[in-house]
Amino acid sequence: MKALLGIEPKTIERTTNIEGQSFPIHEFTSDKWAAIVKPLREPKEGQTADDIVKNTLDIVIVGLEGEGYKPTIEDRKQVTKILQNGGIREYLHRLCMLNDYGFDQVKAAEKKYAAVLSNDTKSN
């Protein structure tokens, strides 16, 4: 397509708030996102629960750090120290919403998450 010649695809960095902290969240091109999320959406036969946890954390880390980042064991330890399991799930949910459906969906998810947290604190 002539109109798109010379235009380079790029990742967009945004931020999202979880558990009272602001985190970077990257919006990838569709082909990059498909490759990043493939280990979760198309698991290999014989994967263990540990493999699934590692793959999940790796996707979260790439979402935090950006395109081309190679997660390490230390990165996984750091993420699990900073975010509780619910926070990791919420970040992954927002990362998927952003890359599958767009930024408006992330904002809607943030509002729902804030409302749930508000209701939880009122009931305690």
| Residue range 19-33, pLDDT digits in tens | 889 999 999 998 999
The Cα-based distances of 60 to 4, 34, 106 in angstroms read 31, 14, 15
Domain boundaries, the chain: 20-116
Over residues 69-111, the pLDDT tens digits come to 999 999 999 999 999 888 999 999 999 989 988 878 778 877 8
pLDDT of residue 122: 67
Predicted confidence band of residue 51 (pLDDT cuts 50, 70, 90): very high
